[in-house]
Structure formats: C-alpha cells, structure tokens
Structure 1
Amino acid sequence: MLVHTRAIVIQSIRYSEADLIVKCFTQSDGLKSYLCRNILKSKKGKLKASMFQVLTQLDLVAKHKDKGTLENIREAKVNPPYQHIPTDVYKSSIALFLAEMLRNTIQEEEKNEALFHFLEESFTSLDTMKNFANFHLWFLVKLTQYVGFYPNTETLEAPFFNLLDGDFQIFETNKYCISNTNTYLLKQFLEQTPAEALALKLNQTQRKSFLEMMLLYYELQLQGFRKPKSLDILYQLF
C-alpha cells in the first residue's frame, strides 16, 4: 500500500557498502524500518543520506507491505529543515541522546498520534530555542505521559517518589523510594509550564543526578531498557 505520512528519523544504519536501513516513527503507522538502496553511492537519486540524520522530520511517500519486513521509501522531503540542530554541538548531542532514548522506549509498532505530535512539536522547538540546557530532562519527564508510565500526580505533595510504582507517597516502602532534590525537581517539571521548567537554574551536578534518576525510572518501567551510549558526552556538555 502506498502511504503518504509524516515521519521522524530515530536511527540510520549503514547496510553493506551503499545502503542504509532507516528506522522512523511515522504518523500513520508508528515505527517503521526502511531499506534505502544505493543511497550512499548514487548522486542522482531522489533520496540523499543527509535526509536521514536522527530527529529529522520528513514528508514521506512510502510503500508499506506491513509484513514485518523492511519497507520502501519512494519519496522524501525534509520538512521543516532544522537550522541549528545539525550544526550546534550541544543541540546535536541532545538529538543523538534523545534518538537513542526513543529507540529504547518506543517498543510497539502501532500508530500513536499523540506521541507523534509531541515529538514533532518538541524537536521543532528545540531547534529554535536559546535556553535548552534542561530540555532533555523536561523531555524525558513529559515522554512518560505518552508511553504509559507518567507519574501519578494525585498525591504530589507527598515527600517520597516511588520509582518502582510511579507514585508519590508519604512513607518509604522500598529501596526505590527517594526524597531529595531530585524529587523536588521532578515535581517542578510536572507542575510547571515548559518555559518555566527550561528556565530552572541547575548546575552540571544537579542535571546529572536528575538524569540518572530518570534513567533508573525508565529502566524499572521498561523491560530490556538500555542506557544510551551517548550518555557520557551529554554529561560532559551539560
């Protein structure tokens, strides 16, 4: 079936000498993997390897057989083209990290319109925003809302956050209950607007500690979750 859809690139892997395997999160069908033949050698083809950098947003015309095999892209257009993510070392590092997080987090191949729009709006904003040092932290908190383990905010005033159950509670009931600066920051990220959360004044130690807590939360909620390989680079920059 020929499909016209929006898509966001989350992985691009070299396959043989001239081909790419591209994994995208599509608006129409969720996760899809495509084989782009001869794209690394051909200079005349409609598809260019530069189109498939991570987090790039595309308008696709693709043939979906929906048989669990690699699909085929007929046409692709970058829309919108990023102005800063590809060239800014800080934003490109965030992009690599978040792409890895999405590969480890989105596990079901099905349509999720709300998640797609969240990703689309978030990455478009990242490209243009000037104050983005907390962006990856805010993003990881908000992403949980679309993948099934958003923290229960009904008891937000309670001092402990239970990473295992995703609840705020009065008493410590297991070794994954925390009551510290990270708990306070989590509450702020949950309650504040994106602009307020991104404006929080955090130092490198605070960002690293909060990120480690969120990665543990993901690990406890998602079977087979792996920490991103780009994590060390992110720690050095932020």
Structure 2
Amino acid sequence: MTVQTPAIVIHSLRYGESDLIVSLLTKTSGLRSYLLKGVLKSKRGKIRASLFQPLTLLEIEANHRNKGTLERIKEAKILVPYKSLHTDFVKSSLVFFLSEILKNTIQEEEVNEELFHYLETTFLWLDAHQNISNFHISFLIKLMQFLGFYPDVSNISLTVFNMQDGCFQNDSSNIYCMDGQTVSYFKEFLGTTFEESMDIKLSRMARNEILSMLLVYFELHLHGFKKPRSLSILNEIFS
C-alpha cells in the first residue's frame, strides 16, 4: 500500500557500507522502520541521507506492506525547514537527548495523531526560541500525558511525590517517594506552558535533580526504558 504522510525522524542507524535503517513516527501509520538502500553513497538520488537527521520534519511517500518488516520509502522531502535546531550547539545537543528519549519511549506502531502534533509543535517552538534552559524538563513532563503516566495532581498541595504510583501524598510509603525542594520545583512545571516554564529559575543542581527524578519516573512506568547516553552532556550544557 502506498501512503503519503508527514513524518518525524526518531532515529537512524547505519547498516552495512551504504544503507540506513531509519525509524520514523508517521502521522497516519504510527512508528515505522525503513530500509534506505545505497543512500549513504548516492549523491543524485531522490532520497538523501541528510534528510534523516534526528527530529527532522518530513513529508514521505512510502510502500507499507504491514508485515512487521522494514518498509521502503519512495520519496522524501523536508516538510518544514528548521532554522537553528541542527546548527545551534545547545539545541543540537538537546536534539540528540530528545531523540534518545523518543527512541526509548515510542515503541508501538499504533497511530497517535495527538502525540505527533505535540512533537511537531514543540520542535518548531524549540527551533524558534532562545530561552530554552528548561525545555527538556518541560518536554518530558508534557510527554507523560501522551504516554499515559502523567501525575495525578488532585492532591498537589501535599508534600511527597510518590513516583511509583504517580501521585502526591502526606508521607513516604516506599523507596520511590520524593520530597523537599526538588518536588516543589517539579510542581511549578505542572500545568504550565513552554513559555511559562522557561521563566522558572533553577540552579544547575536543581535542574539536574529534577531531570534525574523524571528519568527514574520514566524507568518505573516504561518497560525497557534506559537513561540517555547524552544525559551527561546535557547536564553540562545547562549548568
């Protein structure tokens, strides 16, 4: 079946000397993996390897056999060109971090247009703004809504955050309960827009502690989730 759809590049992997295997989140067919034969050596083909940088927004025409095997892309072009996402050092470091996060969290082929719209909108927002020091924290918190484990905020006034159950409570009940200033900062992000969250003042230590807590929370609620290898670089950049 031939499909034409917007798509977001999640991950790409070199295969052999000249091929790429790319993972794309498509708007109409969910997460799909494609084999791009000879793309690393071809200079005049319709499909260029440069199109498949992480988080690139594409329009693709592809053959989907829907047999659980690698699909084939017939044509691909940039849907919306980024101005700074792949050229600004700080943003490009964020791109690799977010790409690793999405590789570990989006694993089903089910169509999720709301998630696609969220990612498309936020990447364009990141591309257009300069005040982005809290972007990765806000991104992860909002992503939870689409993954099904956004915290229950009905008792947000309580002081302890139970990461295992995803709720706020009075007292610690297991080893995954957090309290103190980290939880207070975490609460500030809940329910805010990206613009508002960028104005939350955090020290390097506070930002790293919130991020560390969020990654543990992801590990608790997503089977097989692994902390991104780019985490240490990100912590240094936003210090």
Tell whether the structures are fold-level matches, with TM greater than 0.5.
yes
Structure 2 residue aligned with 1:37: 37
Aligned AA for 1:19?
Answer: D
Distance 2:3 2:182 in 1: 44
Distance 2:42 2:117 in 1: 33
Distance 1:181 1:135 in 2: 19
Aligned AA for 1:76?
Answer: A
1:154 and 2:154 are equivalent in the alignment: yes
1:221 and 2:221 are equivalent in the alignment: yes
Q: What CA deviation, in whole Å up to 9, does each residue of 1:157-180 have, x standing for no partner?
A: 111110001011122111111111
Identical aligned residues as a percent: 50
Query: Match of 1:206, SS?
Result: helix
State the 1:193 CA deviation.
2.4
Query: Match of 2:77, SS?
Result: strand
Count of residue pairs the alignment pairs up: 238
Structure 2 residue aligned with 1:4: 4
Structure 2 residue aligned with 1:187: 187
State the 1:18 CA deviation.
0.7
Distance 1:185 1:142 in 2: 15
Aligned AA for 1:29?
Answer: S
Q: How do residues 11-22 of structure 1 correspond to structure 2 at under 5 angstroms?
A: 11-22=11-22
1:131 and 2:140 are equivalent in the alignment: no
TM-score of the pair, normalised by structure 2: 0.98
State the 1:130 CA deviation.
1.1
Distance 2:107 2:14 in 1: 22
Distance 1:137 1:164 in 2: 19
Q: What CA deviation, in whole Å up to 9, does each residue of 1:135-163 have, x standing for no partner?
A: 00000000000011000011111111100
Retained in 1: the 8 A contact 2:188–2:200? no
Aligned AA for 1:42?
Answer: S
Q: What CA deviation, in whole Å up to 9, does each residue of 1:55-84 have, x standing for no partner?
A: 000011111111110000111111211110
Distance 1:211 1:223 in 2: 19
Structure 2 residue aligned with 1:209: 209
TM-score of the pair, normalised by structure 1: 0.98
State the 1:192 CA deviation.
2.2
Structure 2 residue aligned with 1:121: 121
Q: What CA deviation, in whole Å up to 9, does each residue of 1:23-60 have, x standing for no partner?
A: 01111111100001111111110111110000000011
Structure 2 residue aligned with 1:24: 24
Structure 1 residue aligned with 2:55: 55
- Over the residues paired in the alignment, what is the CA RMSD in angstroms? 0.8
Aligned AA for 2:92?
Answer: S
**Unaligned stretches of 5+ residues in structure 2:** none
State the 1:107 CA deviation.
2.1
Runs of 4+ that moved beyond 4 A: none
Aligned AA for 2:70?
Answer: L
Query: Match of 1:102, SS?
Result: helix
Aligned AA for 1:69?
Answer: T
Distance 1:19 1:101 in 2: 24
Aligned AA for 2:101?
Answer: M
Structure 1 residue aligned with 2:93: 93
Q: How do residues 60-75 of structure 1 correspond to structure 2 at under 5 angstroms?
A: 60-75=60-75
Retained in 1: the 8 A contact 2:27–2:112? yes
